[in-house]
Structure 1
Amino acid sequence: MVTISLAMIVKNEENYIKRCLNSVYGVVDEIIIADTGSTDKTKDICSFYTDKIYDFKWIDDFSAARNYSYGLATMDYILWLDADDFLLPEDRIKLLKLKETIDPKINTVMMKYNTGLDLQGNVVFSYYRERMTKRECGFLWHEPVHEYMLTTGPVLETDLCITHGKIPGEKSSDRNLKIYEKKLRKREFLSPRGTYYYARELRDHDRFSEAARQFELFLDTDMGWIEDNISACSELAKCYLKLNQDKRALACLFRSFVYTTPRAEICCQIGYYYQEKKDYQTAAFWFEFILSLKKPVQCWGFLQHDCWSYIPLIESAVCYDRMGDYKKALKFNTKALKVKPDSLQAKQNQVYLQNKVALQRKRKTKGAP
């Protein structure tokens, strides 16, 4: 059985850290905490789980902090979590099993990162991250913000999931944006990845015109990861819609098809575009088209799971309702209800459409126009 060090960087995480550490305590063999300046009870809480708590002077560089925490690890593999990440009970069991069964030749373990859940606890947004690496490989983190690890050698993709959960309604920080802007003021170079994430930070702060310029700059480098290129097209389209540049927005969505086969997430955006224009026939085409697509199986990019099933079904129902084809609308809504039996919208639609279809039959029987 291999051993695992958990290496974390934290700051003012008293609302989350207990949940995180509870979920892995007794599974990992070592817990290392690199605190970057907490002023709340974070370190006190961590002290119940480990005595390996270190202070790291914050220098506006997440990679530097992570590399510091990794340098303190002593076990076979190093696992990283953020304070608002945690393992569900079933994933805790999977991590225990992974310790027992992993081939020591594996350098990197990819785990699914579930960052979006619906009210019923179903995963609606996920992607894969490099989550555990062999310590002796000495892999390093790169980029000051939205850091990543450049790894080599054998990779294991698992069905073990890390769940991310913040308090609903919690405001997003401008910390990352300030780090990027500080670098730019110092005339420091942003990598293509850095440009992409800077654009996302600008978008998150409603600076849509600036975000659009950065997304365009990123795509023009032609050096981005395919999944980031697709995401950039999607986000660029949203920016142009906010700027009332509809045709440019639509062109951005179609631009994503250059990188790979059409993705359901993009096609949903196209469907919504035509739905907004009240061109329900064209909107229905795109929503139905999604149902012919195969959901990627080995995809490390962002996946909005509802876009591959529930959304195209229920939106097709909406489109056909608007066109007066209630029978076809009911067919799609019935399928949507099977996918999400607890959906209030689908339930309400079902009653409404059943009544519409019954009324049409009654009128037809009576010979009404």
Structure 2
Amino acid sequence: MNSSIALVMIVRNEEATLARCLESAVQHVEEIIIVDTGSTDKTKQIAERFGARIFDYAWGDDFAAARNYALDQSTSTWNLVLDADEYITAMDRTILIQTLSEQACLGRITIVSLTSEQGEQNEARGYITRLLPAGVRFEGRIHEQAKSDLPRMNVPITVLHDGYLCRSKSERNIPLLLAELKNNPNNSYIYFQLGREYQGLQELQQASEYFEKALNLLNGEERYAPNVAVHYIYALKEIKRYTEALKLIQKNYGWLATFPDYHFACGIFYLDLVMSDPGQYMTFLPEIEASYKRSIAIGESDRYDTVSGTGSYLALYNLAMYYETFGRMGEAVHCLKRATNLGYEKAKIRLTNLGYEKAKIRLTNLGV
């Protein structure tokens, strides 16, 4: 079977990150297609060093059109689509080719996006269709989607994305999303993405309005549906619209039940709710513990875009803080130990601060 793979990219002024991306991919692909939309730095020279075929393209505020032009230049059986602020951290070509040969499909790769909030770096893990068989094209001015009826399968390619740490793209993205919305006024995904852009700008009232519109258009079968609810809960919490958040949670959508991020968000929300007015909301106190326990019971998810740790170490750490607040130190230490064993450094530091490690050393020295 012909299993050639092309790396297909659109770029503009990417000299800071392009070499890293190409270095990570060059060993895995047969050809590299670079479509430049107007670089004025050393982007093209960097691409040339890796033997890329380079094409110029006049940018027209349409990501699908640019990506499709790039795909038109490929001569390979499969096309791996990446951005310059992404790079491959793991790829098992043997298993990949075997998977692709078993049935006609589109490949969803794992994209780990680094984010920073309140000084702590987190990882958001998504599964995005970026490995396309020849002939498949994109649609959508922005947040473009592969247009195909073929099934989508997770494939053994992991990519790290750190673009969110470096710059905000909202100034570019919001006008494109609004333009797309004019053509698709009932598209819940566009409303969701607009909400995310405004949430990133901390314009949470505007974000909430878009999330509400997205939620009302969902049927629950969309892969991103649980993420809409989670982002909406966080936005409502931040602007203290507690009644609306409670109504959302109490609707008990079945399609949220297996999403750890949802239960994790509920735990955070219930804590904020109780703290806002203990006299009125104290009856919701047990829901904090219950929510984190649900997250942990589900575990990490590969069905939806998720924040790493919501089904494991982050939920365990927050649950430990809950137990510690109420003097349930044995349970707190147990959760912190589990989170530490999963590599969560913050839990290890908390254990040390509690004196657990020192106590363990003393007991060991006494032969206990």
Q: For the superposition of Structure 1 and Structure 2, which TM-score range results when normalised by the shorter chain?
A: 0.7 to 0.9
Name the residue aligned to 2:49. Answer: 48
Letter paired with 2:139: H
Change (3 A) 1:269 1:222: closer
Q: Residue 158 of structure 1 aligns to a residue in which SS?
A: strand
Alignment partner of 1:34: what SS? strand
Matches within 5 A, 1:1-369: 1-88=2-89, 90-91=90-91, 94-95=92-93, 98-99=96-97, 102-103=100-101, 105-116=103-114, 124-135=123-134, 138-153=135-150, 155-166=152-163, 168-182=165-179, 187-190=182-185, 191-223=187-219, 225-255=221-251, 257-276=253-272, 277-278=274-275, 281-296=286-301, 299=303, 301-340=304-343, 343-352=345-354, 354=356
Q: CA deviation at 1:68?
A: 0.7
Work out the number of aligned pairs and report it: 345
- Quickly say closer, same or farther: Cα 1:158–1:117, change in 2 above 3 A: farther
CA distance in 1, matches of 2:355, 2:287: 21
34-43 or 347-356, larger mean C-alpha shift: 347-356
1:268-315 Cα distance to aligned partner (Å, 9 max, x none): 121122323245543222222323325445x1x212231111122222
Q: Matched residue of 2:157: which SS?
A: strand
Cα separation, 1, equivalents of 2:58 and 2:7:
20
1:152/1:231 CA distance change after superposition, 3 Å: same
Q: Unaligned stretches of 5+ in structure 2?
A: 276-281, 361-368
Instruction: Tell me how large the CA RMSD over aligned residues is.
Output: 2.9
User: Contact (CA 8 Å) 1:5, 1:28: kept in 2 or not?
Assistant: yes
> 1:57 and 1:256 mapped to 2: Cα distance?
48
Aligned mates of 2:78, 2:38 — CA distance in 1: 27
**In structure 2, the residue corresponding to 1:57 is in which secondary structure?**
coil
> More deviation in 346-355 or 170-179?
346-355
Shift of 1:134: 1.6
Q: Which amino acid aligns with 2:93?
A: L
Displacement of 1:99 in angstroms is 4.5
CA distance in 2, matches of 1:356, 1:218: 51
The Cα shift of 1:356 comes to 12
In the superposition, the TM-score normalised over structure 2's length comes to 0.83
> Is the Cα–Cα contact under 8 Å of residues 96 and 156 in structure 2 kept in the other structure?
no
The answer (yes or no) to whether the contact 1:109–1:156 under 8 Å persists in 2 is: yes
Distance 2:199 2:99 in 1: 43
CA distance in 2: counterparts of 1:65 and 1:32, whole angstroms: 12
Give SS of 2:206's match: helix
Q: Distance in 2 between matches of 1:155 and 1:169?
A: 31
Q: Is the 8 A contact 1:226 1:259 kept in 2?
A: no
CA distance in 2, matches of 1:11, 1:132: 22
Provide the C-alpha distance between the structure 1 equivalents of 2:317 and 2:309, rounded to a whole number of angstroms: 10
Tell me: CA distance 1:55–1:153, structure 2 relative to 1, closer, same or farther (3 Å).
same
Counterpart of 1:311, as a letter, is L
Letter aligned with residue 21 of structure 1: L
Distance 1:46 1:337, change over 3 A: same
Hey, what's the Cα distance between the residues in 1 that align with 2:351 and 2:21?
40
For residues 140-163 of structure 1, the C-alpha deviation after alignment (integer angstroms, 9 at most, x for no partner) is 201111111022335543232122
Q: What does residue 365 of structure 1 align with? A: none
> TM-score, length-normalised on structure 1?
0.83
Say which SS state the counterpart of residue 306 (structure 1) adopts: coil
Q: Which amino acid aligns with 1:282?
A: E
Rate the CA distance shift 1:192–1:87 in 2: closer, same or farther, 3 A: same
Per-residue CA deviations over 1:4-40 (Å, capped at 9, x if unaligned) read 1221111111111000111111431111111112122
Which residue of the partner structure matches residue 366 of structure 2?
none
SS at 2:163's partner residue?
coil
* Preserved contact between residue 329 and residue 353 of structure 1 (Cα < 8 Å): no
| Residues 100-138 of structure 1, C-alpha deviations (whole Å, 9 max, x = no match) | 7741753322221222389xxx98421212221221xx2
